[in-house]
Structure 1
Amino acid sequence: MCQATKVMDYLESAGVIPRSVCSRILHQYPVPEDRKRELINFLLTRGKHAFKPLVEALYLAGNQHLVQLLDEKFLLSNIRQQLDAEYHFPTLVGGQPTGPTSIEDEQLRRMDTNIESIDNKISVDDLNNIEVTKFEDEVPMGFEAQLLTADLIEQYPHLDPTRRSDKCYRMLSKPRGYCLLINNVDAFKTMEVRQGSDVDASKLKSLFEQLGFIVLPRRNLTYTEMISVIENFAKLIEEKKDSCDCSVVIILSHGGNGTIYTVDELAVNIDEHIISAFDDHLIGKPKLFIIQACRGSQCNNRSVPSGSNSSNFWSSDSISNETSRTIVDSGSHRSTMVPIRSDMAIWYSTVKDYVSWRSPDDGSIFIQSLITVFARTAWYYDLSRMVTCVNRTMDEKFAAHESTPFQTPCFECHLRHDLYFNPGCCSESR
C-alpha cells in the first residue's frame, strides 16, 4: 500500500474510521509498515461495510494493483468512472483505465479535515470550510491532537517547518518549551468554588504535552506561593533558553480589572507581577500567556427568556465586591535591556471590565474553545489564525443559545514573527 495517509483520509471522510483513530495511528506508528498494518487491523473490526470504501480509497491513492487483487471488476465499474469525474482523473490511456500513480499526479480534494494544496499553496476557501465544520463539537477528555507527521509534510511540503520563511519563530526543540499551569479552584476563603476549572486544567495539560511542552501544574496557590512560583518559572526558562523555543503561562482563577486572585483572596497584579517577570527572559523567543479570569464585573447579557434563569447554568470568575479586596502591590520596578512585552502574546478570556463565564460541568467556554481549535488546527495554522477561530467559535456558541450571556476574548500581540507550534516535529540540532 502506498500513500497510507491518503487512504485514511478518504476512509475518515466516508465515516469508516474516526479521526481519533487516524490520529492515534499516525502518532503511535511512525514506521510506515507498522502504520499500514494497524490500519488494516482496525478495518477488520469494521466488517464488510468497510470493504467498498477501502477499495475506493486505495484506487484514489494510486494502489491499482491492490484494487485489482481485491475487486477485479472495480476498474471497469461505474463507481470508478464517478470517482474519475469527481477527482478529474483521466479514464483511459491506451484503452486501459488509469488513476493517480504518484504524488505529482495527485490533485485530490481531501476531506474537510485536510488541506488541498496545488503548487504548494493553501486554499483559503478550503481552510474556511474546515473552520466552520470542525469546531462545533469540543474535543472530549482523552482527545488526541492532530500532529504534523512526516506523511502530512510529504503531502503538503509547504507545511515543513524547515522550509518556512525566516519570519517564523523556530519551533522545533525537544521539548518545545515549558508550560506553567496555575489552577485556583476551591481553597478560597469566601469566593465561589470555581467548578469546572479542573476540567479545563486537565485538558490544557494534555494539549500542551501533545504540543511538545513540559507542563508544570500548580493548584490552589496563595499570594506568596504564586509570586514565588512565577519567579522560579521565569528563572527556569531563562536557564533553559538555549534548549527550548517557547514558554507558556496559563492561569485559571478569579480575577478583577488587571488582577488575578489567589486562594487567600489577595490580588496579584497581572502586569507587574506576572507579565513583567518575563521581560528580560527567553529573549527573542515567543512567550504566551493565557488568562482565564474575569477582568471586571460588567456582564454582557442579553434579555433572559421568561421563566428561565441563566445563572443556573453559568458561573463567572468575578468577585462580588472587587473594591473591598486587598490589592497587594510591592511597588517595585524592574529594569530591563530589552523592550517590554517583546515577543509576548497575552490572551485574556474576556475584554477589560467584563466577566468571564464558566460551566460547572464542562469548564470555561474560552478554554474549551481554545483547546478544540489548537488540537485540530495547530498542525497547519499559526497562532493568530487560531485566535480568529476561537473568537468566531465562541461567538457562534453564544449565539446558538438564547439563555447564555456573551463573551469576547482579548488577544494582545507583541510577537515579531508568525508562531507555528509544529506539533510532532522536532530537531535536536540548534
Structure 2
Amino acid sequence: MPLWRGLRDSPEERNRAVVVSVAKFYPGVELGKRPGAEKDAKRLHRNLSKLGFKVDLHSDLSGEEIYQLFSAESRRPVKDCFLAVLSSHGEEGCVFGADGEPVRLSRIFTFFDNECMEKKTKLFLIQACRGHHLDDGVEVDSAQEESDSSFSHYLSVPTDTAVMYATAPGYGAFMNFSGSVFLQTFCSLLEEEGHCELELTRLLTRLSHRVAYSFQAKGRLYDGKKEMPCLVTRLTREVFPFADSEEDSKAGKISATSLVSLRSVRARIASLS
C-alpha cells in the first residue's frame, strides 16, 4: 500500500501551502531583482498559518529545483486543500527559476493529476508577468493573438483545480518594494472579516474586483496602468478552503461583490514583476 494511503487519515494531516518565491537571480541572468517578493512570502506565511495551513517557503530555487519540489509535493498527503504560490518573472505559460530557466506551468499542473491528489482541492496563485503589454483599463486588440495561442497549457489543469493568474495573457503584473498588487490584495482579503467564509470562486472573484478597481500604478513609466487577474477553474464542487467547517453553511448567503469597497483608488509606484 502506498505510503500516502496510510497517512491519509492521520490526525496530523493538514491543508498545505507551498510558496515558491524568486527574488534574486543567478549572476549573469538578465532578470531584475524582485525586492517585494519576500514581503509577499512572509505575509502569506502569516495569514495561511493562522488559517490552519502548514506553510513551506522556498526562495530562489532553480528551474529544475522547482520541478523537483512540486513533483514531490504532489505525492504528499493533504487534508482537503493544497495551495501553491509561484512568484517570479515570467512569460505566457511559464515562470523563471533563479537560474533563468523557464518553468512550464503545464508540467507543474500535470504533477497533480494523480491518485494522491484526487478529489483534493488544488489552488495555484501565479504572480508573474505573462507578456509585455500594459493594461490601460480598457479592452484592446493587441493581446488577442497571444491569448489564442496560449490556450493549450490550460488543458493541463487537473480536475478540482483553480489557477489564478495575477494578470491576463500577454500583460505585465505589478510589484514594488511593498510586495505585489495581486498577492498583497489576496492577503488583505484573508485578513478582513467575512472573506474567509466565502466559497473559493466567490473569494477569487472579489480578489479580481479589488485588484481591477482599487489599484492604479503611478510613476513616469506606468502612470495610470491597471492590472486584471485571470481565473481558470476546473472545480467540480463548491469548496471553502479558508473557512471553519461550522461557518460553511453561512458562506452561500454572501454575494460575490457585496463586501467589496470602492472607496479611494490606491496609486502605487510600481514595477513589473
Structure 1 residue 423 displacement after superposition: 4.0
Any idea what SS the aligned residue of 1:235 has? coil
Q: Is 2:101 the partner of 1:266? A: yes
2:182 is the counterpart of 1:366: yes
Write out per-residue CA displacement over residues 122-158 of structure 1, whole angstroms, 9 at most, x where no aligned residue: xxxxxxxxxxxxxxxxxxxxxxxxxxxxxxxxxxxxx
- Residue of structure 2 equivalent to 1:225: 65
Displacement of 1:378 after TM fit?
3.7
Encode CA deviations 1:240-291: one digit per residue, 9 max, x unaligned: 25xx1111111110100101100110101111x2111101141011111111
Provide the C-alpha distance between the structure 2 equivalents of 1:203 and 1:180, rounded to a whole number of angstroms: 13
- Unpaired runs of at least 5, structure 2: 1-10, 138-155, 247-273
CA drift at 1:399: 5.0
- Aligned-residue sequence identity (percent) comes to 24
| Higher relative contact order, chain-length normalized (CA < 8 Å, sep 6+) | 2
- The aligned counterpart of 2:199 is 382
Structure with greater strand percent: 2
Partner of 1:356: 173
Structure 1 equivalent of residue 126 of structure 2: 291
Q: Which residue of 2 aligns with 1:276?
A: 110
SS at match of 1:296: coil
Aligned residue for 2:208?
Answer: 391
- Which 10-residue stretch deviates more, 362-371 or 379-388? 379-388
Distance 1:249 1:282, change over 3 A: same
Aligned match for 2:88, one of 244, 250, 253 = 253
Query: Helix, strand or coil for the counterpart of 2:215?
Result: helix
Q: Which amino acid is 2:132 matched to? A: S
**Partners of 2:182 and 2:127 in 1: CA distance:** 8
Secondary structure of 1:260's aligned partner: strand
State the partner residue of 1:197.
37
Please tell me whether the aligned partners of residues 378 and 421 of structure 1 are also in contact (alpha carbons under 8 angstroms). Answer: no
Aligned to 1:217, the other structure's residue is in SS state: strand
Is the partner of 1:268 in helix, strand or coil?
A: strand
**Mapped contact 2:81–2:241 kept (Cα < 8 A):** no
Measure, in 2, the Cα distance between the counterparts of 1:355 and 1:400: 12
Counterpart code for 1:298:
H
Are the structure 2 counterparts of residues 357 and 373 from structure 1 closer, same or farther at C-alpha, using a change threshold of 3 Å? same
Alpha-carbon deviation of 1:190?
Answer: 2.2
TM-score (normalised: structure 2): 0.72
Unmatched tracts of structure 1, length 5 or more: 1-172, 303-338
Other-structure match for 1:414: 234
Q: Give runs of aligned pairs for residues 26-425 of structure 1, distance below 5 A.
A: 175-188=13-26, 189-236=29-76, 240-241=77-78, 244-271=79-106, 273-280=107-114, 281-301=116-136, 341-360=158-177, 362-376=178-192, 377-399=194-216, 403-424=223-244
- 1:393 Cα offset (Å): 1.2
Deviation (angstroms), 1:209: 0.9
Q: C-alpha deviations, 1:347-403, integer Å up to 9, x for none?
A: 10001111100012x111111111111222343211111112112211222359692
8 Å contact kept, 2:80–2:241: no
When the two structures are aligned, how many residues end up with a matched partner?
Answer: 211
Q: In proportion to residue count, which structure has more helix?
A: 1
Highest Rg: 1 or 2? Answer: 1
Give, as a single letter, the amino acid of the residue that structure 2 aligns with 1:202.
K
